[in-house]
Structure 1
Amino acid sequence: MNIAAPGLPQVEDVNPATGDAFFQLSETDLSTLPDLMVRARQAQAQWAARSFAERARHITLMRRYIVDNAEHIAGVVSQSNGKTRVDALATEVLPCALACKWYAGNAGKVLKPRSRPSGSILFFNKRSRMEHVPLGVVGIISPWNYPLSIPFGEIVMALMAGNAVLLKVAAATPAVGKVIEDIVAAGDLPPGLFQHIVGSGSKVATGFFEHGINKLFFTGSVNAGKVLMAQAAETLTPVSLELGGNDPMIVLEDADLERATNGAAWAGYQNAGQSCGGVERIYVVASVYDDFVRLLASKTRALRHGPGHQRFDVDIGCLTTAGQLRTVQHHVEDALGKGAKIAAQSSGTEGGLFHPATLLTDVTDDMITLRDETFGPVLAVVRVADEEEAIRRANDSYLALTSSVWTRNNRRGRAIASRLESGVTTINDHLYTHGLSETPWGGWKQSGIGRTHGPEGLLEMTQPKVINWDLLPAKRNLWWYPFDETTWQGLLNALRFVFPRSAGEWLGSSLKLTPFLLKKMFTGWKTDQ
């Protein structure tokens, strides 16, 4: 498909499984970015005036389009990213439809104005209300590993919160950007409220900051996130960063090993391992280590590779970029060079950017695959003595996105989960909470700052605002001018009334404070002029 415009640089989308170009479009002329921003701000002012129910009707139209065109959308994602159609439907299309429903139904509840109770009797005359004001124009720069579900969830959050959106999708998956355009167009939004920008991520980000984007949401590598955060600091533009993960899985001696190995295979090899919240490190208690490795090795060898946009009888597609394939190969070579062993690999990965699902054992902490994010279909299994060693080693990372605990005892699992350093910990499951619209997504340490999804994600799309007023008309507050010794004594009495050291002190201070307070509040300030 070719929707390129003459006179502008062209961008091709190449299927990484076959090497065939199947889509072409034109880059955005970034000199027009100021005009795009003006259009966005004009549309946003109208959009913010609409009720949550009105906004929800537009989001519901998008959901209907997704459901009606699910097969086509999954096919484009598969061709563009290299994942299988089944994977695209399960982890991209379905979560987008669920996101439309949840945010349309819950944004008004989360963001509605709320009264804030007074914190002290001293402010008996004051009332406060919390409001959540739209940010304005939100910029989204999204990755290629989940080219549909990651940006689309943020788009829906932004729109329901009353914002305009400028979207820049990954250069490796431009066809998915066109799919998102089509979905949003089905929502019949005001012109200019959503705009898709095609071009260099660094140039677009610079343009966003220069022309006053109100907040940037970025998903990508740790290094790229640090660069963007430094740029944002020059204009104090707020950012939300979802960066890398090197996520641990802890398998205890009482785990259901059939479920645990099924879960490890899916969460580690799914999307060819290109999930920042997928399993990478597995810490298995010694008493069940051999059985766990045996079962996981058999499942690893059974996995089937192939171009997932053409067939359903494949489990794993390919990596999305040649650079990522080289990274995965380097991590495996490093591990083998330092003494690791391949316990099992899948087969049938000829051609394209395929890499076999690889299970590594005898892995040590000096190997890159345990220290850094591999972002490929590689699982490293480590034998540990007990749960304490597992917890310590799981937390020994500069990344802290997600983690999981596998045990038949949910109480024990929850206790361990609360000790793990990560934004999300699941028990007897892994990775899937990105698809739960009601739960926040994000990590600690260098895995990022801020949250998307859930009530927390909606709040990230707004500015908190306090509106405060007097219940009764008053001339002056207790602490206003003019100052004199009476003011001093009045403030001391106020302090001792709120925090008395004895019943007598409370009674005495209250008797002295009341006439002073009434006089201060209801008489004016007499001056000689």
Structure 2
Amino acid sequence: MTTTVTSSGAHPTPATFESLDPRTGDVVGVHPVHDEAAVRAAVERAGQAARWWHELGFAARRRRLEAWRKALVNRLEDLAAAIVAETGKPLDDARLELVLTIDHLDWAARNAERVLGPRRVSPGLLMANQAATLAYPPLGVVGVIGPWNYPVFTPMGSIAYALAAGNAVVFKPSELTPGVGIALVDTLSEIVDGRPLLQVVTGLAGTGAALCRAPGIGKIAFTGSTATAKRVMAACAENLTPVLVECGGKDALIVDADADLRAAADAAVWGGLANAGQTCVGVERVYVVEAVAERFTAEVVERASRVRAGAEIGPMASPSQAGIVARHVEDALARGGRAVVGGVGSVDGPFVDPVVIVDVPEDSVAVVEETFGPLLVVNRVPDVDEAVRRANASGYGLGAAVFSKRRGPQIAARLCCGMVAVNGVISFAGIPALPFGGVGDSGFGRIHGEDGLREFTRPQAVARRRFPLPSVTSFRRQGALMKALVGLVRLRHGR
């Protein structure tokens, strides 16, 4: 909700908006809508902080980031409570989000110098008189636009790595979770003596657009829907600001004939229903080989039937999200799918009980579109080849999972997506050294790991002449020299 507050004879004050508890609709907090001037001012302040931060060097930055890590540990329960208040997710889910965040921050702080520090590279035979070095200086100021479903873990995949690389950050949290963003930023303030190294700007879509257009932004890291990502890219194009976009997914889980069916079913239920299905790398489609389909489905039904909305899983983030789930369930059933857990009546207000539907046509919206809710589609296939074909048929390509005792890595290699978990689900997100990101409609660029650190830098190559040699890059070059050079290339590369 957005309001404009005025007083008689006075200039209008900035608009504000309310963040709500999705479980009850109660107001959790009231926050300002930062306009374009406020956003630009934040970016300017960040530019000054970025210069100080970069000049500290890797070792000093690491010490401060490690102090932040300790602060997050000490504030873990307070931050978890803030996450619960604005998302409604179970407390232990909020705690897990923070535990993973802290581990990623630690990895980024410890590995930044190794990955990004200057290093020598071979100049090659033809340029043997040169010393070649490569470094990765920071971009300066990075803008991060975060989502509501994992309001700490997901944006920190950009924030922690951007800071470790030497940048300052301006963070625009989702309008559904602004309080979480503010609480996160506050934990760093004392450690950097109040410098505006990590700032938060709150607001609606206009605030995010202002951040994309702000002069001085070196890169925008965005997480959200594919449709919004296109608008972000259009706004960034005005200043040729590079972007990293992590969009939605329609992740598939493949169950081979030799899979551990109990483990596969447990993974499918967790991957599809955790966080009420509101997970970009959550399982939305399952393709199970015909020979084990009945046994696997029975295991899924037994586990999913025990998951209750309001207990093991929280609410939908908004009424519109619940409406999407309802539409997908209705279409799947109307197209011939069969509900084995829940059904149309499972969608009741903000809470949606688990729904598992089998034998859903591949052109149903429940198979084609991202649901982002506790709906799991289980379709049987004649063999793994068909499972791979269907998994790759989606325009999305974020993550996937494979259960197979003998062929897991081989099946994973055939999937067109950014990450794959073999005999597990979503495990790649918890490994800081692995890059995270998608292809196709799921976006491009990477957070986490070495690629995630380099994402927030600009490679700088330097060639330095160590001693003089006859030069071919001069108008005084001799024909004999070029003849010798061509002969050397033929000898070295022509055979």
Residue of 465, 480, 484 corresponding to 1:493:
484
**What amino acid sits opposite 1:80 in the alignment?**
E
Q: CA RMSD in A?
A: 2.2
**Counterpart Cα distance in 2 of 1:182 and 1:39:** 16
Residue of 104, 110, 114 corresponding to 2:115:
110
**Counterpart Cα distance in 2 of 1:192 and 1:465:** 27
**Counterpart Cα distance in 1 of 2:289 and 2:321:** 32
**What amino acid sits opposite 1:432 in the alignment?**
S
**Counterpart Cα distance in 1 of 2:40 and 2:29:** 28
Match of 1:378 in 2: 375
Offset of residue 183 of structure 1: 2.0
- For the pair 1:479 / 2:476, whether they are aligned, the reply is no
Say which SS state the counterpart of residue 462 (structure 1) adopts: coil
Unaligned runs of 5+ in 1: 307-313, 507-529
Say which SS state the counterpart of residue 364 (structure 1) adopts: coil
Residue of 85, 92, 98 corresponding to 1:93:
98
Distance 1:51 1:348, change over 3 A: farther
Match of 1:70 in 2: 76
Task: State the Cα deviation string for residues 297-344 of structure 1 (Å, max 9, x = none).
Answer: 1111111221xxxxxxx2111111111111111111111111111111
Residue of 426, 439, 443 corresponding to 2:421:
426
**Counterpart Cα distance in 1 of 2:239 and 2:35:** 23
Match of 2:171 in 1: 167
TM-score normalized by the length of structure 2: 0.94
1:285-304 paired onto structure 2 within 5 Å: 285-304=289-308
**What amino acid sits opposite 2:180 in the alignment?**
V
Offset of residue 151 of structure 1: 1.1
Match of 1:518 in 2: none
Match of 2:233 in 1: 229
Count of aligned pairs between the two proteins: 486
Distance 1:346 1:317, change over 3 A: farther
**What amino acid sits opposite 1:457 in the alignment?**
G
Offset of residue 36 of structure 1: 2.1
**What amino acid sits opposite 1:332 in the alignment?**
V
- For the pair 1:131 / 2:135, whether they are aligned, the reply is yes
Task: State the Cα deviation string for residues 408-459 of structure 1 (Å, max 9, x = none).
Answer: 22xx110111111110011011113222211100011111110000110000
- For the pair 1:353 / 2:358, whether they are aligned, the reply is no
Native 8 Å contact 1:168 1:201 kept in 2: no
Match of 1:43 in 2: 49
1:277-426 paired onto structure 2 within 5 Å: 277-306=281-310, 314-345=311-342, 352-409=349-406, 412-426=407-421
Task: State the Cα deviation string for residues 104-127 of structure 1 (Å, max 9, x = none).
Answer: 1111111111111023x2211111
TM-score normalized by the length of structure 1: 0.88
Say which SS state the counterpart of residue 126 (structure 2) adopts: helix
Task: State the Cα deviation string for residues 386-429 of structure 1 (Å, max 9, x = none).
Answer: 111111111111100001110122xx110111111110011011
Say which SS state the counterpart of residue 113 (structure 2) adopts: helix
Offset of residue 186 of structure 1: 4.4
**Counterpart Cα distance in 2 of 1:413 and 1:69:** 40
**Counterpart Cα distance in 1 of 2:67 and 2:409:** 39
Native 8 Å contact 1:80 1:173 kept in 2: yes
**Counterpart Cα distance in 1 of 2:249 and 2:269:** 17
Residue of 162, 183, 190 corresponding to 1:158:
162
Match of 1:514 in 2: none
Task: State the Cα deviation string for residues 247-296 of structure 1 (Å, max 9, x = none).
Answer: 01000111111111111110100000011101001000001101111110
Task: State the Cα deviation string for residues 11-47 of structure 1 (Å, max 9, x = none).
Answer: 2121111211122222224323333222111111111
**Counterpart Cα distance in 1 of 2:101 and 2:5:** 29
**Counterpart Cα distance in 1 of 2:123 and 2:274:** 50
- For the pair 1:273 / 2:267, whether they are aligned, the reply is no
Offset of residue 189 of structure 1: 5.1
Say which SS state the counterpart of residue 459 (structure 2) adopts: strand
Native 8 Å contact 1:5 1:26 kept in 2: no
- Tell me which moved more, 28-37 or 70-79: 28-37
1:444-483 paired onto structure 2 within 5 Å: 444-473=439-468, 477-482=471-476
Native 8 Å contact 2:339 2:357 kept in 1: yes
Give percent identity, aligned residues only.
36
Match of 1:149 in 2: 153
**Counterpart Cα distance in 2 of 1:350 and 1:19:** 17
**What amino acid sits opposite 2:304 in the alignment?**
T
Match of 2:29 in 1: 23
**What amino acid sits opposite 1:431 in the alignment?**
I
Match of 1:517 in 2: none
Distance 1:71 1:446, change over 3 A: same
Task: State the Cα deviation string for residues 131-170 of structure 1 (Å, max 9, x = none).
Answer: 0010010000011111111112311111111101010000
**Counterpart Cα distance in 1 of 2:361 and 2:491:** 61
Say which SS state the counterpart of residue 420 (structure 2) adopts: strand
Native 8 Å contact 1:302 1:346 kept in 2: no
Native 8 Å contact 2:342 2:354 kept in 1: yes
1:235-250 paired onto structure 2 within 5 Å: 235-250=239-254
**Counterpart Cα distance in 1 of 2:305 and 2:140:** 51
Match of 1:513 in 2: none
Distance 1:104 1:210, change over 3 A: closer
**Counterpart Cα distance in 1 of 2:313 and 2:230:** 32
Offset of residue 355 of structure 1: 0.9
**What amino acid sits opposite 1:72 in the alignment?**
D
Native 8 Å contact 2:65 2:105 kept in 1: yes
Offset of residue 347 of structure 1: 12
Native 8 Å contact 1:345 1:356 kept in 2: yes
**Counterpart Cα distance in 2 of 1:492 and 1:235:** 47
Say which SS state the counterpart of residue 143 (structure 1) adopts: coil
